[in-house]
């Protein structure tokens, strides 16, 4: 049952935080990609959970449309192709995957015409993994400065996807580097950001220990994806 799994995950997160002396609030996002809409509505009805994430734009837009009368926050966490920017309305609470200046520029123009402000996270490819999108660590401030100057984009924080590894502990240094970068964003650059989106089913406790404020959990909540 979703409700029991969610409760277990939240409890272990709280235990981990108190054991390690972590003080940040951690939001659990339920990643519902490739699961039917009914899994989201069931999850909401049985547990009251309201924070969900999707990574494919077509599927995400369709689900957003069908969920718009429920108090559900849908986050977009996948790579956003530039030719899909035009479909963005008020579908997503937050877009976690701002991964290039060009995309930021297109999104700013789009949301200016839409006359609304979109919350975004800058995706950082902290491990310089050629299989992952995101700006390099050294480009992060340039990118964030650009977003800060974009009146219709509201910079809320940073997001990262670690490399695929056998043992999640291997990625601990990447999570720690992200937290350092996140702190610099506030201490040196004064962006005043509050979201550090990192950690998935297999590594979320390590991410929390290293300072994550939002974990994105798919399989551990919904079960194995079919494709």
Ligand X SMILES: *Cc1c(COP(=O)(O)O)cnc(C)c1O
The site that binds ligand X (CB under 6 A) totals a number of residues, namely 14
Residue number with CB closer to ligand X (18 or 120)? 120
Binding track, positions 8-37, relative to ligand X; x by CB under 6 A: -----------------------x-x----
CB atoms within 10 A of CB 31: 23
Binding track, positions 148-187, relative to ligand X; x by CB under 6 A: -------------x--------------------------
Binding of residue 211 to ligand X (CB under 6 A): no
Q: What token pair was written down for 135?
A: 């700006």
Binding track, positions 70-89, relative to ligand X; x by CB under 6 A: -------xx-----------
Query: How far apart are alpha carbons 43 and 52 in whole angstroms?
Result: 10
Helix (H) or strand (E) run with residue 123 in it: strand 118-123
Q: Which residue, 78, 56, 19, is CA-closest to 216?
A: 78
Task: Give the shortest CB-206-to-ligand X separation in angstroms.
Answer: 13
Q: What token pair was written down for 8?
A: 């277990």
Q: Which residue is nearest to ligand X (CB)?
A: 218
Q: What token pair was written down for 67?
A: 């969920």
Binding of residue 217 to ligand X (CB under 6 A): yes
Query: How far apart are alpha carbons 61 and 78 in whole angstroms?
Result: 12
User: Which residues between 54 and 73 bind ligand X (CB under 6 A)?
Assistant: 55
CB atoms within 10 A of CB 41: 14
Binding of residue 219 to ligand X (CB under 6 A): yes
Return left, alpha or beta for 34; rule: phi > 0 is left, psi -120 to 50 is alpha, else beta.
left
Task: Give the shortest CB-75-to-ligand X separation in angstroms.
Answer: 10
Binding of residue 200 to ligand X (CB under 6 A): yes
User: Which residues between 91 and 130 bind ligand X (CB under 6 A)?
Assistant: none
What is the contact surface with ligand X in residues (CB under 6 A)? Answer: 31, 33, 55, 77-78, 161, 200-202, 216-220
């Amino acid at each position: 049952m979703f409700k029991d799994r969610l409760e277990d995950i939240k409890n272990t997160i709280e235990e981990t935080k108190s054991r390690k002396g972590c003080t940040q609030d951690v939001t659990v996002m339920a990643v519902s990609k490739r699961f039917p809409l009914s899994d989201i509505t069931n999850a909401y009805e049985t547990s009251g959970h309201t924070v969900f994430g999707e990574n494919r734009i077509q599927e995400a837009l369709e689900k957003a449309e069908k969920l718009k009368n429920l108090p559900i926050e849908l986050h977009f966490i996948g790579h956003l192709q530039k030719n899909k920017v035009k479909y963005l309305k008020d579908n997503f609470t937050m877009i976690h995957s701002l991964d290039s200046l060009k995309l930021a520029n297109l999104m700013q123009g789009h949301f200016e015409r839409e006359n609304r402000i979109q919350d975004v996270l800058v995706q950082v490819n902290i491990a310089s993994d050629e299989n992952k999108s995101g700006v390099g660590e050294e480009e992060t401030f340039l990118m964030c400065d650009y977003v800060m100057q974009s009146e219709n984009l509201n910079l809320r924080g940073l997001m990262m996807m670690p490399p695929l590894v056998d043992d999640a502990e291997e990625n601990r240094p990447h999570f720690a580097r992200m937290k350092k970068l996140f702190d610099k964003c506030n201490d040196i650059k004064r962006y005043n950001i509050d979201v550090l989106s990192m950690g998935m089913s297999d590594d979320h406790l390590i991410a929390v220990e290293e300072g994550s404020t939002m974990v994105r959990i798919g399989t551990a909540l919904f079960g194995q994806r079919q494709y």
